[in-house]
Amino acid sequence: METKCGYVALIGEPNVGKSTLLNALVGTKLSIVTPKPQTTRKRVVGVRTDEDSQMIFLDTPGIVEPRYELHRVMMQYVDFAIAEADIIGFMIDVAIHKDPAVALTEQVKERLKTFDKTLILILNKIDLLKDSKEVLPIIEEYNKLGLFREFVPISATKLAGVDELIKVFKQYLPEGEFLYEEDVLSTQSERFFVSELIREKLFTMFKDEVPYSTEVQIVDFKEREKGKWYISAEIIVEKETQKPLIIGAGGSRIKKLGEITRKEIENHLGVPVYLELFVKVRKNWRNNKNYLKFFGY
């Protein structure tokens, strides 16, 4: 039987639903999702294998104008994904990107034109439209650009249109043998997913600049007792003043963070977990190349 296999990059502005879509395409939670923009910092790889096709999805950080060295590195991940991909799924939020000029700045268009790739426009959040027909004039406007091969309206949260999107991706996949075993869902390590789950809860529990100033490092990850895992993690902040905000009065906030995160980690790993969290200050780490390299960026 002839098979197809290829890379599909999911790109777009922050908060358009790329991570939610990746989770829907793969059928499990790989990318963390929060209401805050720029939750995704590193490229997350998800693998979907059907009988005759294998798609390797690349979830990328939202496209932003860099303010920090961290942002510059994040935008490199976007460029690497575009270069590696066979298909690019450019995602928009139909509620705020009705005008192509909003989502497709000249900088973004240049990014897309640099590489000769199959471009699919994914119009997300159609469930927020009062009438589904409202998506038609939006498609017409984007079609005038002459960039996209296909236009697929979806709701990633409601799973509407996701099956149709998969069919479109399959249509443009190159022929080739599978790169991964059929039961592989991602290429990332469990340590990575645990650090991301902690970071997700930081984004949901804390406000303003605090979650954006944090990074998570897994210090220890091992089985101590039979069937029970010990995980030690450091929460990195940029300023001394942020440290007590994470810890809380009498350690109340970090205790709550640990309790909530531990349950999710146990669900993810399928084993009991003992979780310890510590807070450390690394001044201005988002603009420090050495720190970024140490943190895996």
196-254 pLDDT per residue, tens: 999 999 999 998 889 999 999 999 999 887 789 999 999 999 999 999 999 999 999 99
Question: At residue 111, does pLDDT exceed 90?
Answer: no
Segments making up each domain of the chain, as ranges: 4-172, 190-294
Question: At residue 21, does pLDDT exceed 90?
Answer: yes
Within 10 angstroms of residue 222's Cβ, the number of other Cβ atoms is 8
Q: What is the pLDDT of residue 1?
A: 82
Residue written as tokens 């443009």? Answer: 172
Question: At residue 164, does pLDDT exceed 90?
Answer: yes
Span 157-170, average pLDDT: 97
Q: What is the pLDDT of residue 252?
A: 97
Residue 218 belongs to what H/E stretch? strand 215-225
Question: At residue 112, does pLDDT exceed 90?
Answer: no
Phi-psi label, residue 48: left if phi above 0, alpha if psi -120 to 50, beta otherwise: beta
Q: Which two tokens stand for residue 288?
A: 């420090």
Question: At residue 132, does pLDDT exceed 90?
Answer: no
Least confident of 111-120, 134-143, 203-212, 242-251: 111-120
Confidence class of residue 109 from pLDDT cuts 50, 70 and 90? confident
Q: What is the pLDDT of residue 108?
A: 86
The set of residues, in sequence order, having a beta carbon less than 8 Å from that of 132 and lying 6+ positions away, is 126, 153
Q: What is the pLDDT of residue 113?
A: 81
Measured between alpha carbons, how far is residue 199 from residues 215, 221, 265 in Å? 7, 16, 12
Q: What is the pLDDT of residue 23?
A: 96
Which one-letter DSSP state was computed for residue 239? Answer: S
CATH (one of 3.10.20.30, 3.40.50.720, 3.30.70.100, 3.30.300.20) for 190-294: 3.30.300.20
147 neighbors 139 (Cβ within 8 angstroms)? no
Torsion over CA: 228, 22, 254, 214 (sign): positive
Measured between alpha carbons, how far is residue 28 from residues 40, 47, 55, 86 in Å? 17, 10, 15, 23
Q: Please, is 25 exposed, middle or buried when counting C-beta atoms within 10 Å of its C-beta (0-12, 13-18, 19+)?
A: buried
Residue written as tokens 């790993």? Answer: 269
CATH topology of domain 4-172: Rossmann fold (3.40.50)
Q: What is the pLDDT of residue 107?
A: 81
pTM: 0.93
Span 161-175, average pLDDT: 98
Q: What is the pLDDT of residue 37?
A: 87
CA 65 and chain centroid, separation: 18
pLDDT digits (tens, 9 = 90+) for 260-274: 999 999 999 999 999
Q: What is the DSSP string of 68-108?
A: SHHHHHHHHHHHHHHHH-SEEEEEEETTT-SSHHHHS-HHH
Q: Which two tokens stand for residue 110?
A: 């240049």
The set of residues, in sequence order, having a beta carbon less than 8 Å from that of 138 and lying 6+ positions away, is 94, 97, 98, 123
> Do 4-172 and 190-294 share a fold?
no
Span 172-177, average pLDDT: 97
Question: At residue 9, does pLDDT exceed 90?
Answer: yes
Q: How far apart are CA 142 and CA 135, in angstroms?
A: 11
